[in-house]
Amino acid sequence: MLTVSLAERALYAFVFVSIVSHFVYARWIRCWSRVHHPPGPSPLPLLGNVYQLPDGHKEKTMSDWAVVFGKLVYVSFFRTRVLIVSSLDVAQEIMEKRSMHYSDRPRLVHMQEMMQWTSHLGYAASSEDFRKHRKWLQSAFLAHNSLVKYRPIQLREVRVLLDGMSGSSSQFEQHLNRFIGAILMEVVYGYTVTSADDKFLKYGSEVMEEVAHAGYPSLSPPDWLPFLKYVPTWLPFGKYRKESERFKDLVRKMRADPYDYVRKTMAAGTAPSSFTSTLVEEAVRTNLLTLQEEEDIKDMATLVYGGGMDTTVSTLSAFVLAMVLNPRVLKKAQEEMDYVVNQDRLPDFSDRNSLPYLECIIKEVYRWHVVAPLGVPHQSTIDDKVRGFDIPGKTVIIPNLWAISRDPERYPDPETFYPERFEHARAGSIPQTDPRKFIFGFGRRICPGRLLADANIWLAIANMVATLDIGKARDSAGSEIEPRVESTSGFISHFEDYMSDIKPRSENAAQLIAAAAV
């Protein structure tokens, strides 16, 4: 009887697997080469380009790819096809001019299905739900009459912000968090925040901190391998499920508790007008307040509150760091402010058109620190051609906003904080585009709260410039402490913690702050 040793069996198995792998690889290469995709780093069979994607700061690796392969880079992560766009012109071409075919979202297994962070992220742009919710948001946050209604809240809270920052520079981010959180809680839920320790603010801060560090949408292993959502927590890759279980409870509180507050105050007849109460009243009036409608209202309210909170704090913190590093810019802005406002009052929205240099500073803050480096992904719905390249349907489109903000042809010397770049373009150069044309997204998926966010940021920065000196902190020996300029990695980017010295710029400014805080 013929016997086969264990070594021979292993050899036969190796030969068999090698032959099969060869044919699979050959077929995969033929299929890959039939179409003319944009260039990109060489993929491996089955794995694609997973092995080339780092854990952190993916936007920087993708920017390096753009230098080698061009502004359109085509990669794959297992079976997920991805087009990385590092050109503003191309991003606008496909996601705005061709928005009908590039406005869907990919399946977001990690963030949407596992973490349950606002289900609207997955709606197809052609769905009735998407159109209904977009109409809700546009009515509340794009109509001029609606935005004007929020100004008393914004003006009240910026005075609280100045009072806090002038007395405690070491906790300035806590004051920024309270500023934007209080505005959004009142706009969205009609709830007045009276303390930085407010429980609703804590819910929002905890949730958005988790979202910021959860990884990039569509670029986590569960997005490529959806079965990972079922992997037990004690197995490798089970960490995604473990983290998501903890996160879901935070999201539940953030969605349900403020909404319940609105319903209770409406029942008592004491609810002030808010985004949520308006939607509930309309649904009751039309007899459409179903359980599903309530869930939709919760989703949209959570989207506005959560989406506007962490991004605004990150932008305002970036402004403070920019002023610490660039005292010349702050001094020039203060001179403009003094000329317009005369140091006898605080600036308000009526001053905006009279402060062009301040506008340049805000544009440069947006460009210098893009809070969502890779934006939120789109997905193509049809096979298409872009700049002569074949783009299959259901390709994930990732706009590399970080790379766009550092395009040296559009923004010379991009790592330097230089607001004057927006005062005038150099002769023969590409106009230095207002970053608001890309940082808030594109086409049908553009951020519906962008005007409110921009107004909040302008008001906070204008008032800080008018009343505060912002500089480097000093150690016990009186020497200046140089801050680190390093950003965190993830969906939402923040600068790493740094120290600063913030104080009223004059006795008159201190009196203005004190009088406004009463």
In a domain, 20, yes or no: no
In a domain, 139, yes or no: yes
Residues tagged in the binding site annotation for heme: 447
Please report where in the chains the tokens 């373009």 appear, as a residue. 425
Q: Are strands 396-399 and 378-379 parallel, antiparallel or unpaired?
A: antiparallel
If one compares 248 and 144, the residue with the highest pLDDT of the two is 144
Torsional sign, CA 372, 116, 454, 486: negative
The domain tally of the chain equals 1
Confidence at residue 70, expressed as pLDDT on a 0 to 100 scale:
96
- The average pLDDT across 507-516 equals 92
pLDDT at residue 21 is higher than 60? no
Query: Residue 389's beta-bridge partner residues?
Result: 386
Q: Are 67 and 408 in contact (CB under 8 A)?
A: no
In a domain, 164, yes or no: yes
Confidence at residue 19, expressed as pLDDT on a 0 to 100 scale:
53
Residues tagged in the binding site annotation: 447
- The average pLDDT across 311-328 equals 97
In a domain, 34, yes or no: no
Phi, psi dihedrals of residue 191, rounded to the nearest 5°: -105, 130
Q: Report the CATH number at residue 368.
A: 1.10.630.10
Q: Which two tokens stand for residue 58?
A: 């993916």
If one compares 244 and 101, the residue with the highest pLDDT of the two is 101
- The average pLDDT across 447-461 equals 96
Cα distances (Å, whole numbers) of residue 209 to 168, 231, 247: 23, 24, 11
Q: Are 108 and 229 in contact (CB under 8 A)?
A: no
The predicted-structure confidence for 276-318, as pLDDT tens digits, reads as follows 999 999 999 999 899 999 999 999 999 999 889 999 999 999 9
Q: Are strands 384-386 and 389-391 parallel, antiparallel or unpaired?
A: antiparallel
pLDDT at residue 221 is higher than 90? yes
- The average pLDDT across 29-42 equals 76
Mean pLDDT of the chain: 89
Q: Are 301 and 258 in contact (CB under 8 A)?
A: yes
The predicted-structure confidence for 146-195, as pLDDT tens digits, reads as follows 999 999 999 999 999 999 998 777 789 999 999 999 999 999 999 999 98
In a domain, 212, yes or no: yes
In a domain, 22, yes or no: no
Task: Show the domain range for 502.
Answer: 39-517
In a domain, 11, yes or no: no
Distance (Å, rounded) from C-alpha 378 to C-alpha 371?
A: 18
In a domain, 24, yes or no: no
Q: Which two tokens stand for residue 97?
A: 């001019």
How many H-runs (helices) and E-runs (strands) does the chain carry? 17, 8
Confidence at residue 244, expressed as pLDDT on a 0 to 100 scale:
85
Confidence at residue 265, expressed as pLDDT on a 0 to 100 scale:
97
